[in-house]
Amino acid sequence: MLKSTRTWGLVAVAVAVVLLAATVYAIVGARTGAVGFREAFGMLRWVARIGAAALLLSAGVLAATFLFRDRSGRWLSLAALVLLLIPVGGIVLNAQSPPPGTPINDITTDLEDPPRFDAVIPLRPAGSNPVEYGGAAVAARQREAHPEVRPIESQLAPAEAFDRALEVARDMGWEIVADDRASGIIEAVDTTTFFRFKDDIVVRVRPANGGSRIDLRSLSRVGRSDLGKNAARIVEFTQSFERG
User: 140 and 208: one domain?
Assistant: yes
Domain co-membership, 88 together with 140: no
Residues 62 and 152 in one domain: no
Single out the residue in 46, 62, 94 at which a domain terminates.
94
pLDDT of amino acid 95: 63
CATH number assigned to the domain comprising residue 210: 3.30.530.50
Range of the domain at 54: 2-94
Distance of CA 147 to the CA centre of its chain: 20
What average pLDDT does range 225-229 have in this prediction? 88
Task: Tell me if 231 sits within 8 A of 150, measured CB to CB.
Answer: no
Q: How far apart are CA 47 and CA 99, in angstroms?
A: 23
- Spell out the SS3 assignment of the chain: CHHHHHHHHHHHHHHHHHHHHHHHHHHHHHHHCCCCHHHHHHHHHHHHHHHHHHHHHHHHHHHHHHHCCCHHHHHHHHHHHHHHHHHHHHHHHHCCCCCCCCCCCEEECCCCCCCCCCCCHHHCCCCCCCCCCCCHHHHHHHHHHCCCCCCEEECCCHHHHHHHHHHHHHHCCCEEEEEECCCCEEEEEEECCCCCCEEEEEEEEEEECCEEEEEEEEEECCCCCCCCHHHHHHHHHHHHHHHC
pLDDT of residue 190: 97
Q: What's the pLDDT tens digit per position in 123-146?
A: 999 999 999 999 999 999 999 999
116 pLDDT above the threshold of 60? yes
Same domain, 236 and 129: yes
**Are 11 and 78 within one domain?**
yes
Looking at residue 96, its pLDDT comes to: 66
Residues 154-205: pLDDT tens digits?
A: 999 999 999 999 999 999 999 999 999 999 999 999 998 777 889 999 999 9
Return the closest-CA partner of residue 141 out of 230, 41, 216. Answer: 230
Residues 74 and 144 in one domain: no
28 confidence band (pLDDT: 50, 70, 90): confident
Give the other-Cβ count within 10 Å of 224's Cβ. 11
Average pLDDT of every residue of the chain = 90
Domain end marker among 62, 94, 126:
94
pLDDT computed for residue 98 by the predictor: 67
**Domains in the chain: how many in total?**
2
Instruction: State how far the Cα of 240 lies from the Cα of 154, in Å rounded to an integer.
Output: 13
Same domain, 169 and 235: yes
Out of 94, 119, 145, a domain closes at: 94
The separation between CA 64 and the C-alpha centre of its own chain, rounded to angstroms, equals 40
